[in-house]
Amino acid sequence: MKNSETYLEVIKPGIYSSIQDEGRKGFGHWGIPIAGAMDLQSFQLANHLLRNDKSDACLEMTLIGGEFIFHGNTEVVLCGANASIQLNRKKTSTNKLLKIASGDRLKIGHFQNGCRMYLGIKGGFQTQRYLSSRSWYEGISDQSRLESGDRLPFIQQQTSAPKPNAKVAIDESLIKSQFLEVYAGPESDQLPKELFSELFEREYHLSPQLNRMGIQLEETLDNQLEEILTSPVYPGTVQLTPGGKLLILMRDAQVTGGYPRVLQLSPDSINRLAQKKQGEIIRFKFESDW
């Protein structure tokens, strides 16, 4: 990682932390995924509270936070999952502006509700751009996940402004809700009517097979559909395999696939699913209007 006089020093990186912005758009014809923040709603809230550009790069953390030392003055916000958070050994919380002085230490524990948290910083992290985006993705960026000793550069800020005390109230039901709004996929009309109805009558558990590329559900369906010619897929596309497994593609997913595309998640549902953990239950809610 590039050295900088003003940077965030990584003491403990967490399990799977990475730098993300709104993603790498316009390169699908080269087979390059969009990537970007898994939960765009929480990501954009962090930038909004900081009065950043909406796509300024944040640090995305998964399941557990980490420990960091700031080398420079700035402001930060934490949004998304809930966790035990300490700034210089004093408890603090998400969704509020935190004034940071050089030498301050931030410690974030295991996530209690939700799967992903975003550390936004004033002006965004100034890491390298790859194809017009700072989002990390294996094979595109120099690294795909955070490591101990990394230095994440940011822009030095003045600290003369008064310390804010306000905290934004967030509707946590958006994270806790089991329901994901979906629309019919391109091959949904090939499903028998009874099987299509069954998609919305069952509960599904998130399997251990989940990451930024996609999430496989535990339950199987009695599927007679054959594979299709390789066709475009997007974040939120729900594919049905010949074995009856449902695969939900996420931000790092490939741009084409050969399994029938039976459903498509709404943008809000992709954000909600990004906050679900292994073993949690989801249900599909059909929306007739695209």
- Per-residue pLDDT tens digits for 12-55: 999 999 999 999 999 999 999 999 999 999 999 999 999 999 99
CB-CB contact of 211 with 116 (8 Å): no
Amino acid at 236: G
Task: Give the span between the Cα atoms of 289 and 272, in whole angstroms.
Answer: 20
Q: What percent of the chain has pLDDT over 90?
A: 87
pLDDT grade for 2, boundaries at 50, 70 and 90: very low
What are the φ/ψ torsions at residue 26 (nearest 5 degrees)?
95, 10
pLDDT reading at 163 higher than 80: no
Mean pLDDT of the chain: 93
pLDDT of residue 289: 58
pTM of the model: 0.93
Domains by residue range for the chain, with CATH: 7-157+165-170 (no CATH), 177-286 (2.40.100.10)
CB atoms within 10 A of CB 20: 28
pLDDT reading at 83 higher than 50: yes
**Span 192-227, pLDDT tens digits:** 999 999 999 999 999 999 999 999 999 999 888 888
- The separation between CA 281 and the C-alpha centre of its own chain, rounded to angstroms, equals 18
Tokens of 41: 């709603």
pLDDT reading at 3 higher than 60: no
Tokens of 104: 């301050």
**Span 118-140, pLDDT tens digits:** 999 999 999 999 999 999 999 99
> 127: burial class by Cβ within 10 Å (0-12, 13-18, 19+)?
buried
pLDDT of residue 225: 86
B/e letters for 80-91, b = 16+ CB within 10 Å, e = fewer, are bbbbebebeeee
Tokens of 181: 């709004």
pLDDT reading at 1 higher than 70: no
Q: What percent of the chain has pLDDT over 70?
A: 93
pLDDT reading at 171 higher than 80: no
Question: Which residues have a Cβ under 8 Å from the Cβ of 83 and sit 6 or more positions away?
Answer: 64, 65, 94, 108, 109, 110, 111, 112, 117
State the distance between the two ends of the chain, measured CA to CA, in whole angstroms.
43
Question: Which residues have a Cβ under 8 Å from the Cβ of 192 and sit 6 or more positions away?
Answer: none
pLDDT of residue 168: 67
pLDDT grade for 164, boundaries at 50, 70 and 90: low
